[in-house]
Structure 1
Amino acid sequence: MEDSKRLEEGFGNGTKRATIANDQDKKVAETVHGNEEKSRTTLDLPEEQKEEKPLIKHKTKRVATLDAFRGLTIVLMILVDDAGEAYPRIDHSPWNGCTLADFVLPFFLFIVGVAVALALKRIPEVKSAIRKIILRTLKLLFWGILLQGGYSHAPYNLSYGVDMKHIRWCGILQRIALVYFVVALIEALTTKLRPTSLKSGHFSIFTAYKWQWIGGFVAFVIYMVTTFSLFVPDWSFVVYKDDNAERYTVKCGMRGHLGPACNAVGYVDRQVWGINHLYAEPVWARLRACTFSSPGSGPFREDAPSWCRAPFEPEGLLSSVSAIVTGTIGIHYGHVLIHYKGHAERLKQWVLMGVSLLIVACVLHFTDAIPINKQLYSFSYVCFTAGAAAVVFSGLYILIDVWGLRTPFLFLEWIGMNAMLVFVMAAQGIFAAFVNGWYFKNPDNNLVKWIQQHVFIDVWKSERLGTLLYVIFAEITFWAVVSGILHKLGIYWKL
């Protein structure tokens, strides 16, 4: 009886399943038929009615502030590089302190961190992401050595080539490459530890990305311990001039020194790279101890210390380790952008941290504990420039993404979208060198110098003002227009 009952229940269930299956088949058939009818109806519609119901594609909203901030940094670089000689106050500080030029590289590193957080927000395959990170790092190193290693003599010297005994291994792109490699690698390797949502509490975003902060803290400890504990002995160097070689000796024998002569940052670079591979014209030569023309460039004083003539690498190894902290702060701002969707919450996080960093920097600097110093990339300099980047970034975000005042800043966006192109062609003078190659009778009689002299300097009867206006209109404005045209054509140069 039980078997019969089960058999009956089985038949009953089978009948029920068959009925459901038939109903589902019927629905599928109706759906397919309906879709076919819908497709035929759509195809039969006039063109005007077809355009009334376009296919909706969901795209991630691009934060325009990112491109504008990157563009602003490029503009600042062109301004201080090409007008800094006319206005030394905006050029790099000879030693302690911070000028307009000293914000450029930290701003680059800050936005690299923000971009890394957004680019690696979703990683389908970690190994593939790591390969891309390594490849991009190598590309940055290649272009850095090519442009700043001494091979290129742009824009005014039309020769090229470098003696490998004196090639410069460090530079702006090399430092960006190192910082990018470290912060991007940590971001990629910790992808499985990444939270989908944050817990409540102001510090939840810090604990959620603790490995990024641990990486930044390790870099901070390495820099601080090395800077204040490494013993710096006496050292010497040779100055070559008109086939004559003169040797100078710098007396040190100390540790923890933060002056030009005996700091650990310079000592590490001399040991790692060799003194002949360092930057030959450091900005400390504009100090009052070296020249009466300070803060501008000028002949050395007769009583100038020997180190005034020495090479020093402003983008060296130990200082680049400190720069990793700037990239870490930038990647934190990217994480805030990802997890906080409201403008008020984002700005609260950004501004509070930015102001805090500025306060810490000012306390360290004005108490003489750790002076703000770009050449050493001191911790106070990290805090001050990262805090300034945070405030500027927040201000642009309010103007562009919150208030919608995008039009006045479009030229910055265009430059920011083609930052690498403008950096190489404008900031590194490659385009100007190309134009200078077409001269009349002698290399000094070229179009670039003619425009600068006759269109700007002679008209305004001032070399300083004429140089500034030339940089603004013949360089920055020109490249803004070029970048805008390239943007309209969808042409971008990215590594």
Structure 2
Amino acid sequence: MQTTTQAAFDTTGAAPLAEASQPGRLISLDVFRGLTVAAMILVNNPGDWGHIYAPLEHAEWHGCTPTDLIFPFFLFIVGVSIVYALASAKRDRARHPQLLLRIVRRSAILFGLGLFGAFFLQWDLSTVRIPGVLARISWVFLVCGIIFLKTGWRTQAALLAGTLVLYSVLMQLVPVPGFGPANLEAATNLGAWLDRLVFSENHLWKQSKTWDPEGLLGTLPAIGTGLLGLLTGQWLRRPGPDAATKTVWLLLAGGAAIVLGLIWNPWFPINKSLWTSSYVLYTGGLAIVGLAALYWLCDVQGYRRWTKPFLVYGVNAITVFFLSGLVARGLNTWKIPFRGKEAVSMKQVLYETLFAPWFSDPRNASLAGALACVLIWLGVLWVMYRKGVIIKV
């Protein structure tokens, strides 16, 4: 990783801070990224995991809450960002080997950061979780980056459709070894079987150990989410249509994807943990609509005064996600005596000291703790923003 103030792209393809005010800059993309990452910090850091408002929790299994939108929005943004990072260089085929090397290198570093985050303060390679959020981002970035360099939008659209259909067939028709017919249950679906086969239960999500929400097979449709971002980014960069036409068509395309996802839902239910094909269309459609609205507000109409906090989050998105995870794990691991108990995590001490006494409803106290975390990281990122510091790979 490097710290720089020069013109460079971060892991998700974000353009540098130094260019944030230039005329051709897609401010809406940075704002959308910042909104998404700030929401990710909010839902990942409640004051008390036992008291959370329903919209800030994942759906128990089938279904979709606002929290279930965050990760697909980020992968969609990865796809859009790839277009803005590589579109100009793509025309020069002589540069493709160099660009492919950069894509592979960044993907490997992302994957390595994910492994380090899972290993941090546990220091046990025999039980370290191998799948994870950063691992999935790395695979989507790798595959979508290569696809964008080597194919056109028609091929990408065909790959998107083929990926979603193939995943549906695999999950709904292929028998699961040792369990019988295809099914969509947490521990007995085809993806869970594959993860146990490849990683063993020791290296999967510790809350279940029998399946992983960021498992191998589910990364296939997650790449579809990135492909939706590629197609959206290419439409936004297209020189012909005016801004109003681009916005209208984005809204129509997003609406169509939402409807298709809802139509598919009864047969292949919307499910974040399985990353079902209906989930890809539904969340991808919402992402397209969200980006279109921000594009019209920020880039076309110029309403930008409110965007600064999200730009601050957006330009160092991977940095704040990674570091916030390390800090959270550190606070949970650090144990001290507290109120007659021999070992209480520092996170719980801070929560019960600074937040719980001020609220009669523990959900409000928990939310206050999460909001405080968002604001603390905003302060850190604001200092980095003012100094022109972007941490990139």
Fold-level similarity (TM above 0.5) = yes
SS in 1 for 2:160: helix
Deviation for aligned residue 1:160: 2.8
Deviation for aligned residue 1:264: 1.4
Write the deviation string for residues 188-207 of structure 1: whole angstroms up to 9, x where unpaired: 224xxxxxxxxxxxxxxxxx
Match for 2:199: what amino acid? Answer: W
Write the deviation string for residues 204-248 of structure 1: whole angstroms up to 9, x where unpaired: xxxx622222333443343223212321133xxxxxxxxxxxxxx
Aligned-residue RMSD, C-alpha: 2.4
Match for 1:110: what amino acid? Answer: F
Inter-CA distance 277–454: structure 2 relative to 1 (3 Å threshold): closer
CA–CA separation in structure 1 for the residues paired with 2:261 and 2:253: 12
Aligned to 1:351: 251
Instruction: Choose the corresponding residue for 1:378, options 276, 291, 315.
Output: 276
On the 8 A contact 2:335/2:344 being kept in 1, the answer is: no
Aligned to 1:65: 28
Aligned to 1:363: 263
CA–CA separation in structure 1 for the residues paired with 2:88 and 2:225: 23
Write the deviation string for residues 235-280 of structure 1: whole angstroms up to 9, x where unpaired: xxxxxxxxxxxxxxxxx3212x123343212122222222332213
Match for 2:175: what amino acid? Answer: F
Aligned to 2:188: 262
SS in 1 for 2:391: coil
CA–CA separation in structure 2 for the residues paired with 1:348 and 1:270: 45
Instruction: Choose the corresponding residue for 2:133, options 159, 172, 196.
Output: 172
Structure 1: where are the runs of 5+ without partners? Answer: 1-57, 153-158, 191-207, 235-251, 283-309
Aligned to 1:4: none
Instruction: Choose the corresponding residue for 1:133, options 95, 103, 111.
Output: 103
On the 8 A contact 2:312/2:385 being kept in 1, the answer is: yes
On the 8 A contact 1:411/1:481 being kept in 2, the answer is: no
CA–CA separation in structure 1 for the residues paired with 2:300 and 2:257: 24
Match for 1:465: what amino acid? Answer: N
Structure-to-structure mapping, 1:84-483, within 5 angstroms: 85-87=50-52, 89=54, 90-123=56-89, 124=92, 125-148=95-118, 151-152=119-120, 159-164=121-126, 166-190=127-151, 209-234=153-178, 252-255=179-182, 257-282=183-208, 311-340=210-239, 342-365=242-265, 368-426=266-324, 428-430=325-327, 433=330, 444=344, 446=346, 448-472=347-371, 474-483=372-381
CA–CA separation in structure 1 for the residues paired with 2:195 and 2:328: 32
Aligned to 1:80: 43
Aligned to 1:485: 383
Inter-CA distance 230–271: structure 2 relative to 1 (3 Å threshold): farther
Structure 2: where are the runs of 5+ without partners? Answer: 1-20
On the 8 A contact 1:460/1:466 being kept in 2, the answer is: yes
CA–CA separation in structure 2 for the residues paired with 1:356 and 1:375: 23
Match for 1:430: what amino acid? Answer: V
Deviation for aligned residue 1:129: 0.4
SS in 1 for 2:274: coil
Inter-CA distance 467–342: structure 2 relative to 1 (3 Å threshold): same
On the 8 A contact 2:27/2:298 being kept in 1, the answer is: yes
> Higher relative CO (CA 8 A, sep ≥ 6), structure 1 or 2?
2
CA–CA separation in structure 1 for the residues paired with 2:271 and 2:328: 32
Deviation for aligned residue 1:434: 6.7
Deviation for aligned residue 1:312: 1.1
CA–CA separation in structure 1 for the residues paired with 2:327 and 2:184: 36
On the 8 A contact 1:357/1:383 being kept in 2, the answer is: yes
* Count of matched residue positions in the alignment of Structure 1 and Structure 2: 362
Deviation for aligned residue 1:133: 0.5
TM-score by length of 1: 0.68
On the 8 A contact 1:114/1:331 being kept in 2, the answer is: yes
- Give 1 or 2 for the bigger CA radius of gyration: 1
Deviation for aligned residue 1:464: 1.5
In percent, how many aligned pairs have the same letter? 29
On the 8 A contact 1:183/1:212 being kept in 2, the answer is: no
Deviation for aligned residue 1:329: 0.5
CA–CA separation in structure 2 for the residues paired with 1:483 and 1:435: 23
Deviation for aligned residue 1:490: 0.5
Inter-CA distance 404–60: structure 2 relative to 1 (3 Å threshold): closer
Write the deviation string for residues 348-384 of structure 1: whole angstroms up to 9, x where unpaired: 221111000111111222xx21111111111110111
